[in-house]
Structure 1
Amino acid sequence: MEKTYQPQAIEEKWYAYWEEHGHFAPSGEGEPYCIMIPPPNVTGTLHMGHAFQDTIMDALIRYQRMCGRNTLWQPGTDHAGIATQMVVERQLEAEGKSRFDLGREKFLERVWQWKAESGGTITRQLRRMGASVDWSRERFTMDEGLSRAVREVFVRLYEDGLIYRGKRLVNWDPVLHTAVSDLEVTSQEEQGHIWHMRYPISDGSGHVVVATTRPETMLGDTAVAVHPEDERFRHLVGKTVDLPLTGRQIPVIADDYVDPEFGSGCVKITPAHDFNDYAVGERHDLAKINILTPDAAINEHAPKAYQGLDRFEARKRIVADLDELGLLEKVEDHTLMVPRGDRSGAVLEPFLTDQWYVRAEPLARPAIEAVEAGRIRFIPGNWDRTYYEWMNNIQDWCISRQIWWGHRIPAWYDAEGHVYVGRTEEEVRARHNLGNVPLHQDEDVLDTWFSSALWPFSTLGWPDETEALRTFYPTSVLVTGFDIIFFWVARMIMMGLHFMDDVPFREIYIHGLVRDPDGQKMSKSKGNVLDPLDIIEGIELEELVAKRTSGLMQPQMAKRIEKATRKQFPDGIPAHGTDALRFTFASLATTGRDVVFDLGRAEGYRNFCNKIWNAARYVLMNTEGHDTGVAAEDVKLTVADRWIISQLQRTELRVREALDGYRLDLAAQAIHEFIWDEYCDWYLELSKPVLNQSDDPALLRGTRRTLVRVLEAVLRLTHPIMPFITEAVWQQIAPLAGKQGDSIMTQPYPVAEAGLVDNAAEADIAWIKQFVLGVRRIRGEMDLSPAKPLPVLLQNTAPEDRARLENYDAFLKTLARLESIEEVTGEAPESAIALVGDMQLLVPMAGLIDKDAELARLDKARQRLQKEVARLEGKLGNENFITKAPEAVVQKERDKLADQRSALEKIETQREKIARV
């Protein structure tokens, strides 16, 4: 083995080895276990959420693979309709062209060309993360097989009466000229106004006041609503009001939707431009007047004075005209949530258009029942309430998009507008005897989520009855974030039940979002985004600054982010390697909670990898070329050997239970504690007296065998979370432990053996550890050199203590670095004291320390701590800080204060002891 751990040197080598040897493919043996990767956008790059999610999935797959299951982790990417089209349109824009210059066919050729050249970034990054997906089965939502499945589903749903075309309100992007899903809407708080307008009552008896944040929509008003029990306006119900600027009269209606306590108690109703108003309009059979063009300009249905004006220009003109007519009551400043398209940044409009819809309610009923009956289980279980809430109030799903990149809707129209749905134009013509009647295909494409909803069965070959489909459907578990339960998870369940007559997965593991150390969501505008590959490979400061500030429109924001980045990462980000990052994610993977990511934690796990590497080098140096007792019968085990074997069984049991329960954090904790605390810090040290002092061949064989066998087993235990370092070390250790095979991936996962649990050995080692730690604590408190041999006096020893002292004298003197161990009776000299059970362990102070120098050192430390405690108490006593700072920041300061107070208390105690010497 190399002297130092260099992750880059091993990671690419071993991933290529696994892939070349086909280790990611299903074995064909054992019970099937399948995970479908949530398909990342083909335009995308790996972000922290992907890296976290992929770590969880890969750990589960590698674990189940080693448990003998027939595993498939199905990879693939999503065509990301709007996002991909925007990428290519920007390229054309840079060339002074638009997609309309190319035409649909040439434009789609250009998109496919981009996909071939640049669309594989995220799959390369998945390899860098160690994802053991079966690349031979990689799918793309626009490949021919999946496109065929999409057409098949559309046609069957249409024939079942579950797809229809209708005119309804949608979220409309006036820049992209398409409907967008709720997931593509980012609502953000912005400063605006509320305009209070007077609508005259038609009979001349006065006026009513309505308020709006969008005055331009009044041109499409078709009613004013009041609450049916509001005494102030009951007499107006059934009358009409004059709609200013339009020459139209509109009715006053009564509807429970109105909150009589809000505003004036009168609400303008614009069914074609507000989702709530649309529902009111449906109940009262109101006209729906669309007054906007697809560009969000005023159209021909509005008065001529405003036609052709942009919506915001029309707003200014309308407000001015109302004011001139004396119909503007007042204008108030107002903070409101403004919906914007996440791709274009444009303010979205509720827009009345013809779109294709899926009737959701008939599909939702069996999907609700499947979860209620336990056929699908959410982990953690509380997410089923979120699922039920949405499913019980589900609306029909708008599945059409007005773009070119995507699955074109398989519907054709004749000159009279009759619609014909079929898999191909030839099928349509044959089925409806259309002969040579001119037909044109629907221009729209399907919502990306439509093809994604078929992912669990379309990727396995449906609609064909493939062997993969029979073997791996239903899949075992879906790993996903809570934010797409509605958009993806629920729709997969509905489609799976309808087309496969079975659930698409048995369990749904819901993980949290990755946040920064202050608990803030990671975003480019906040400047707190971390790229997982930068953590893995490292990045220089200047490159990191450029990366974080690129594309920011506001210079002040860029300066702020640059300053914060330079302060946070003055030396850039060092390389940590994939295993350290994966172990960090695993350690944070508590079910369902958001993940607070701290780079310091990843640094700690980089050190953990070093610890494993160095431990392996120690083992190899002491076992290579020696008899490791693999085939020998004459083997003796020390108490330390029996203890570490016993601890291994307990750890194996803990880790299996944790992985089976989706608690990767508990699995990581158990592994870390065993390797770092038990195997490295204690067992390797306990092995030294035998290896360095014993001349008993059987005892030497026993210790060497234990060294390699325990390390080999714990490498297998750790492999699902840290695949690279475990493979690299296992290749060196396995032959010495008598293991055969070309990869750790194909080895069985460790199983605890109850017969190897040794309570007596555990009790003896616990006593030894307490003894050694007592001496080490005294050294630390008294600032004594670790290299200085110490005399130890013992008082109040019991018979079992004397027996252990006799048996384990070599361990104690080696690990605690002792000059002598002596039992004393009567009064002992002034000593530092530690307890080992009821036995007192004393280290005489006389002659070991310079009393005056030590007191001076402690006084200096005490002053520093007192100053820091006072500073933190002042900060936490500041009400402004407590109320304005994020809770995570406040808690961090509280924790610091508790630590400083504890340290100060220890200094005081130590000073008192030394003063008595």
Structure 2
Amino acid sequence: FPVARAEERGSAMPDASHLRGASRWDAREQLVTLLTQAGLYVGAQSHAMPLALCSRSGDVLEPRAVPQWYVRTEQLAADALRAVEAGEMGLFPRAYHREWRAWLGNNQDWCISRQLWWGHRIPAWRLRRIGPATAAAPTCSAVHDETEEWIVTPDAVSARAAASLRCGGVSLEEAAGGLSSDGAWSLTQDEDVLDTWFSSALFPLSALRQRDEIGGPDFMPRDAAAYPLALMETGSDILFFWVARMVMLCSHLTSGRLPFRDILLHPVIRDKSGRKMSKSLGNVIDPLQVMDGVALSTLLDAAAGAALPPAEIKKSQAALRKDFPDGIPACGSDALRLALVLYMAGHTHRGMGTLHGAVNLDLSRATSARAFGNKLWNAVRFLAMHATALQPAAGDADVHTLVVPGATLGVHAHTRGAVPAADASLLERWLLHQLHATAVAVNDALDGLDVATAAASAQRFLLSDVCDVYVEWCKVTLAAGDADAGAARSALSTLSVALDASLRMLHPFMPFVTEELFQHMHYVMPLGGDVLHSSVPPAATAMQPRALLHTPFPSRASTLPGGELL
């Protein structure tokens, strides 16, 4: 009997006429019957074997051999491995160099085709001869002895044009009708789709893709700066599946230009019990639910509707009742982001680090970060309540220099109504000294890719130095009956500088809250008509607000100008 091949739905292929398209289960029984009728059946014997079952449907999984598309990766992997080992591209923490070598030093060809309904369809068209050749065709020498060939091209239009050339120059319709000297031909696109990781690996190229003058794809960036990223930050669990493949494909298609300068890996995020988050366990935390908040009943309903066995659903619901008895409070995206960044302490930096660390996510950290956001908001609100005290007094100089000159903060820090440095109080000088030390610490941490330390330093300055000490001192100073206007302006001007710098340092970690407060400080109540971050006249900048993202970050300075301040 001929070999019985199964189609993608599990039935016998139509060419197996003796099985009449039977299912894979019926086909087995029919084969036994056919063998018995032919006198060829010897008998049956039981064997123990592992049986692969689908976790969702419980169906038996059986492999099916089908043609696949592959990428030859030997040279690509060697180039990516050399880039890290030669120091052309940084990989941090350095403990992952060993894993990089393990993957790329023992690479295999990459299967990039998938038999799925969704994805980027493979841009390959099969040109098949469906009729006999009528005569030799000298213009079709490439396929004169073939029954089919593949045409790989970006789109259907170019595929049809290429097929026309291979069919003696006649149109595809004429070739299909048999007018080609090579007989009748058909052109169909492969139904497979690209592996998700292949599509994802093209991200640096798709973000800068250009068209050349003849309309073809041009993947060559004008220079290294044309790539969208200098630093790729992602999870350590997809170092090979995504990051290595981006490096391999992008560098190969751009004549060796690496898609980014450094790679920074963070640990896998697990639930607070240390289990990997998965749908089958029902312990996945949806970031949107943390941002917007969700009731316990909604969490339980979602678990009940999951495609899980009843026992797993009950287990998941029990865990939800234990972990979130009151649901998940709304924390906002900034609080969740800050909490995750602070979790990275000891994991993400330029040092050796640890391999395959994990973050056991406890959402109480997100609620604490939300409380910090409220603290930041209240500090700016306190300044807004006393903004009128920053108005320049009659007879004051039009513009005074703040105690922290622009060189220290990396900005032109001038404002109306501020007092000269010599008149600053001891506590004001202390706060500005702490601000300087914090700016140095934050910049040092960011240079070392230690984002957790950078965020923690900026948070500590705002909480401990600004709110717990300086704002409380300002309350006493402003409440004193004998406080003069100059002292009030001095205290609040220093506070405005500290808050302005805090917003800048916290902006990478809490972009939305800091942007809102920054706009409020400088455009809603512009502190006596001044705009701290700009040399443009206030009237002009009020009409065209500048985003915090585009303002200078507080820079590292070796010392504060004026030793008397220290």
TM, length-normalised to structure 2: 0.72
CA offset at residue 467 of structure 1? 10
Counterparts in 2 of 1:130-279, with a 5 A limit?
none
Partner of 1:622: 386
Partner of 2:436: 649
Per-residue deviation, residues 413-458 of structure 1 (Å, max 9, x unmatched)? 2315230425322123226635234232243334143333332123
Counterparts in 2 of 1:376-395, with a 5 A limit?
376-395=89-108
Instruction: Please tell me the residue identity of whatever aligns with 2:230.
Output: S
CA offset at residue 706 of structure 1? 0.8
Match of 1:580 among 332, 335, 338: 335
Structure 1 distance, partners of 2:79, 2:220, is 27
Counterparts in 2 of 1:623-772, with a 5 A limit?
623-627=387-391, 630-631=415-416, 632-634=418-420, 636-693=423-480, 694-734=482-522, 735-736=526-527, 738-739=531-532, 740=534, 741=541, 742=545, 743-756=547-560
Instruction: Please tell me the residue identity of whatever aligns with 2:450.
Output: R
> Given that residues 298 and 309 in structure 1 are in contact (C-alpha distance below 8 angstroms), is that contact kept between their aligned partners in structure 2?
yes
CA 1:399/1:605 → structure 2, altered by over 3 Å: closer, same or farther?
A: closer
Structure 2 distance, partners of 1:698, 1:621, is 17
Partner of 2:202: 454
Q: Could you say what secondary structure the match of 1:524 adopts?
A: coil
CA offset at residue 290 of structure 1? 8.0
Q: Which runs of 5+ in 2 are unaligned?
A: 130-145, 154-158, 213-217, 349-355, 393-399, 401-414, 535-540
Per-residue deviation, residues 788-843 of structure 1 (Å, max 9, x unmatched)? xxxxxxxxxxxxxxxxxxxxxxxxxxxxxxxxxxxxxxxxxxxxxxxxxxxxxxxx
Q: Could you say what secondary structure the match of 1:651 adopts?
A: helix
Structure 2 distance, partners of 1:467, 1:306, is 54
Partner of 2:279: 524
CA 1:484/1:466 → structure 2, altered by over 3 Å: closer, same or farther?
A: closer
Structure 1 distance, partners of 2:563, 2:57, is 66
> Given that residues 504 and 553 in structure 2 are in contact (C-alpha distance below 8 angstroms), is that contact kept between their aligned partners in structure 1?
yes
> Given that residues 389 and 485 in structure 2 are in contact (C-alpha distance below 8 angstroms), is that contact kept between their aligned partners in structure 1?
no
Match of 1:430 among 138, 150, 165: 165
Counterparts in 2 of 1:58-69, with a 5 A limit?
none
CA 1:588/1:421 → structure 2, altered by over 3 Å: closer, same or farther?
A: same
> Given that residues 402 and 443 in structure 1 are in contact (C-alpha distance below 8 angstroms), is that contact kept between their aligned partners in structure 2?
no
Instruction: Please tell me the residue identity of whatever aligns with 1:426.
Output: A
Matched, 1:418 2:148: yes
Partner of 1:843: none
CA offset at residue 474 of structure 1? 7.3
Structure 2 distance, partners of 1:444, 1:588, is 44
Structure 2 distance, partners of 1:626, 1:409, is 65
Partner of 1:503: 258
Structure 1 distance, partners of 2:452, 2:25, is 52
CA offset at residue 466 of structure 1? 8.5
Per-residue deviation, residues 133-158 of structure 1 (Å, max 9, x unmatched)? xxxxxxxxxxxxxxxxxxxxxxxxxx
Matched, 1:513 2:268: yes
CA 1:525/1:407 → structure 2, altered by over 3 Å: closer, same or farther?
A: closer
Match of 2:68 among 320, 332, 355: 355
> Given that residues 291 and 331 in structure 2 are in contact (C-alpha distance below 8 angstroms), is that contact kept between their aligned partners in structure 1?
yes
Instruction: Please tell me the residue identity of whatever aligns with 1:445.
Output: D
> Given that residues 297 and 307 in structure 1 are in contact (C-alpha distance below 8 angstroms), is that contact kept between their aligned partners in structure 2?
yes
Per-residue deviation, residues 206-256 of structure 1 (Å, max 9, x unmatched)? xxxxxxxxxxxxxxxxxxxxxxxxxxxxxxxxxxxxxxxx9xxxxxxxxxx
> Given that residues 70 and 109 in structure 2 are in contact (C-alpha distance below 8 angstroms), is that contact kept between their aligned partners in structure 1?
yes
Counterparts in 2 of 1:813-852, with a 5 A limit?
none
Per-residue deviation, residues 82-137 of structure 1 (Å, max 9, x unmatched)? xxxxxxxxxxxxxxxxxxxxxxxxxxxxxxxxxxxxxxxxxxxxxxxxxxxxxxxx
> Given that residues 580 and 605 in structure 1 are in contact (C-alpha distance below 8 angstroms), is that contact kept between their aligned partners in structure 2?
yes
Instruction: Please tell me the residue identity of whatever aligns with 1:459.
Output: A
CA offset at residue 644 of structure 1? 1.0
Q: Could you say what secondary structure the match of 1:700 adopts?
A: helix
CA 1:475/1:601 → structure 2, altered by over 3 Å: closer, same or farther?
A: closer
CA 1:482/1:468 → structure 2, altered by over 3 Å: closer, same or farther?
A: same
Aligned residue pairs total 468
Q: Could you say what secondary structure the match of 1:480 adopts?
A: strand
CA offset at residue 680 of structure 1? 0.6
> Given that residues 280 and 308 in structure 2 are in contact (C-alpha distance below 8 angstroms), is that contact kept between their aligned partners in structure 1?
no
> Given that residues 716 and 749 in structure 1 are in contact (C-alpha distance below 8 angstroms), is that contact kept between their aligned partners in structure 2?
yes
Partner of 2:375: 611
Structure 1 distance, partners of 2:58, 2:81, is 35
Match of 1:487 among 225, 241, 258: 241
Instruction: Please tell me the residue identity of whatever aligns with 1:452.
Output: S
Structure 2 distance, partners of 1:552, 1:403, is 20
Match of 1:597 among 332, 355, 361: 361
Q: Could you say what secondary structure the match of 1:414 adopts?
A: strand
Per-residue deviation, residues 674-720 of structure 1 (Å, max 9, x unmatched)? 11111111111233343333535543332121111111111111111
Structure 1 distance, partners of 2:79, 2:57, is 37
CA 1:313/1:669 → structure 2, altered by over 3 Å: closer, same or farther?
A: farther
> Given that residues 4 and 12 in structure 2 are in contact (C-alpha distance below 8 angstroms), is that contact kept between their aligned partners in structure 1?
no
Q: Could you say what secondary structure the match of 2:390 adopts?
A: coil
CA offset at residue 390 of structure 1? 2.0
Which range moves more in the overlay, 489-498 or 636-645?
Answer: 489-498
Q: Which runs of 5+ in 1 are unaligned?
A: 1-245, 247-288, 763-917
Q: Could you say what secondary structure the match of 1:570 adopts?
A: coil
TM, length-normalised to structure 1: 0.46
Structure 2 distance, partners of 1:360, 1:345, is 36
Per-residue deviation, residues 469-522 of structure 1 (Å, max 9, x unmatched)? 545137412232233333332222222222201122222222222211111112
Structure 1 distance, partners of 2:280, 2:242, is 27
Instruction: Please tell me the residue identity of whatever aligns with 1:418.
Output: E
Instruction: Please tell me the residue identity of whatever aligns with 2:280.
Output: S
CA offset at residue 668 of structure 1? 1.7
CA offset at residue 598 of structure 1? 0.9
CA offset at residue 608 of structure 1? 0.7
Instruction: Please tell me the residue identity of whatever aligns with 2:507.
Output: H
Instruction: Please tell me the residue identity of whatever aligns with 2:318.
Output: K
CA 1:496/1:686 → structure 2, altered by over 3 Å: closer, same or farther?
A: same
Structure 2 distance, partners of 1:402, 1:518, is 36
Relative to total residues, which structure has the larger strand share, 1 or 2? 1
> Given that residues 409 and 444 in structure 1 are in contact (C-alpha distance below 8 angstroms), is that contact kept between their aligned partners in structure 2?
no
Bigger radius of gyration among the two: 1
Q: Could you say what secondary structure the match of 2:88 adopts?
A: coil
Q: Could you say what secondary structure the match of 1:685 adopts?
A: helix
